């Protein structure tokens, strides 16, 4: 509770994967929810279930976040409904897989819009109110991809590097305001992400034991509540992010290329 008011969390990409697991965690802790994704039917089913189970209010906003107008429309809709957002979870994101010069330009630009521009735009809109009220939390879903270049997923890796750098910078700016920013950086996760990116045959994921979405969400959620700036779920992933700092950049890039290639 913030004062006598029940807190509200807005979660993008809420209809599946890590986003859905975040929905469960916030609902269990009694937050009202704003769920954003493209699939209105799925969001409505989730809203009905969690309102019934936890006695919370759930607002559904079906939006395609690759459209530049989406962040402002979301913000305006919530303002008109007098819904104040205390926690913003920028979870929505997707990837493409293949050689950059062969991939569809439209998809790459949509990825930049969702992973970078929309995340930045939503953060700007909701952060200003958080600073005014002296309280708020933002969770940006980055990736272990943020720590190195990613041949065969060049744009995706670059978007996550942006998310991590952006999150760390504004977390520093916000010290003393009562608002915290956390970047969670999961490695490969069982979430449907690989299927959408058409990279199931990549050595990075094929035949590998990878973390499940519920575990990633729990670790990220705990980090958010603790006010941590960067959270890397899993010992193996933490070791990876530390190792690349001391390895020549060119070698790291070659190793990533090797891992990304199909078996």
Catalytic residues: 156
* Separation CA 163–CA 119 (nearest Å): 8
The position carrying tokens 């997923």 is: 153
Q: Strand pairing partners for 34?
A: 10, 59
**R_g of the chain computed on alpha carbons:** 18
- What is the bridge-based pairing of β-strands 189-190 and 87-90? unpaired
Would you say 231 and 182 are in contact if contact means Cβ atoms under 8 Å apart? yes
Other Cβ atoms within 10 Å of 171 Cβ, number: 20
* Separation CA 51–CA 17 (nearest Å): 20
């Amino acid at each position: 509770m913030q004062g006598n008011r029940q807190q509200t969390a807005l979660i993008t990409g809420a209809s599946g994967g890590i986003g859905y697991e975040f929905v469960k965690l916030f609902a269990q802790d009694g937050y009202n929810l704003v769920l954003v994704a493209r699939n209105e039917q799925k969001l409505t089913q989730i809203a009905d279930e969690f309102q019934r189970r936890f006695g919370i209010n759930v607002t559904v906003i079906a939006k395609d976040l690759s459209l530049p107008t989406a962040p402002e429309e979301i913000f305006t809709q919530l303002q008109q409904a007098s819904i104040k957002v205390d926690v913003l979870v920028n979870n929505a994101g997707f990837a493409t897989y293949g050689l950059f010069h062969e991939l569809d330009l439209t998809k790459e630009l949509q990825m930049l819009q969702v992973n970078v521009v929309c995340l930045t735009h939503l953060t700007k809109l909701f952060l200003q109110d958080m600073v005014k009220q002296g309280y708020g939390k933002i969770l940006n879903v980055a990736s272990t991809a943020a720590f190195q270049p990613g041949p065969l997923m060049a744009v995706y890796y670059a978007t996550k590097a942006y998310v991590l750098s952006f999150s760390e910078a504004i977390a520093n700016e916000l010290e003393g305001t009562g608002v915290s920013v956390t970047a969670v950086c999961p490695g490969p996760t069982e979430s449907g992400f690989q299927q959408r990116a058409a990279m199931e045959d990549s050595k990075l994921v094929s035949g590998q034991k990878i973390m499940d979405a519920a575990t990633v969400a729990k670790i990220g959620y705990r980090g958010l509540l603790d006010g941590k700036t960067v959270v890397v779920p899993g010992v193996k992933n933490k070791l990876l992010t530390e190792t690349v700092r001391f390895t020549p950049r060119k070698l790291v890039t070659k190793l990533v290329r090797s891992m990304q290639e199909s078996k």
